[in-house]
């Protein structure tokens, strides 16, 4: 079983993917962790790496190749990342959505946040900018619109649902498939 989980910034992708992986006894992989590690290795912010990725196609290619290879050599896992659905079309494709203000609240509270925001307005604007940059970059690189719900098998709005409940919805869907 291959499950790819994507979604909006702050939608709970990592938390939900880890919960579902544990319950289903699947390995967990994250392209976000790889992107964050790359930013840390380069001693730049996640936002700056995103901006550099617009100009330097090697950054995305590195992460893309990782996903493609993973899909070829592994069978039972959950991959959490923006484009897993694209690189593993045979996977169960899950997309998590969240309202921007709720995402901003979550990110402000999140201890692993790569950026610290002075208030909710600043966090909200940062999320909007990041979504716009990613959407444009993936459209340019791959001709895909990550906002198009037709890309996914299951879409869950996590705005008012706890992570455990979201994970259970994914598990139920995966077991019926």
Average pLDDT, the chain: 90
CATH H-level superfamily of 2-176: P-loop containing nucleotide triphosphate hydrolases (3.40.50.300)
Neighbours of 141 (CB within 10 A): 15
Quick one: pLDDT at residue 36?
Answer: 85
Quick one: pLDDT at residue 55?
Answer: 86
90 pLDDT band, cuts 50/70/90, is very high
176 pLDDT band, cuts 50/70/90, is confident
pTM: 0.85
Domain edges within the chain:
2-176
Task: Compute the distance between CA of residue 143 and CA of residue 140 in angstroms, rounded to an integer.
Answer: 6
Quick one: pLDDT at residue 111?
Answer: 56
3-state secondary structure labels for all residues of 80-100: ECCCHHHHCCCCEEEEEECCH
pLDDT in tens, 143-152: 999 999 999 9
Which of 24-38, 75-89, 118-132 is the most confident on average? Answer: 75-89
Quick one: pLDDT at residue 1?
Answer: 95
Neighbours of 162 (CB within 10 A): 12
Which DSSP state fits 166?
Answer: H
- Is pLDDT above 90 for 126? no
């Amino acid at each position: 079983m291959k499950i790819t989980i994507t979604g909006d910034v702050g939608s709970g992708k990592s938390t939900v993917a880890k919960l579902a992986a544990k319950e289903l006894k699947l390995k967990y992989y994250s392209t976000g962790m790889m992107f964050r590690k790359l930013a840390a290795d380069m001693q730049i912010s996640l936002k700056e790496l995103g901006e550099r990725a617009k100009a330097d196609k090697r950054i995305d290619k590195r992460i893309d190749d990782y996903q493609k290879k993973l899909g070829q050599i592994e069978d039972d896992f959950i991959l959490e990342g923006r484009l897993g659905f694209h690189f593993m079309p045979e996977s169960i494709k899950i997309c998590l959505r969240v309202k921007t203000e709720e995402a901003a609240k979550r990110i402000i509270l999140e201890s692993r946040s790569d950026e610290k925001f002075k208030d909710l307005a600043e966090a909200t604007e940062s999320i909007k900018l990041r979504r716009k940059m990613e959407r444009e970059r993936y459209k340019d690189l791959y001709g895909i619109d990550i906002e198009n719900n037709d890309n996914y098998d299951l879409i869950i709005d996590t705005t008012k649902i706890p992570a455990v409940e979201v994970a259970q919805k994914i598990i139920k869907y995966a077991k019926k498939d």
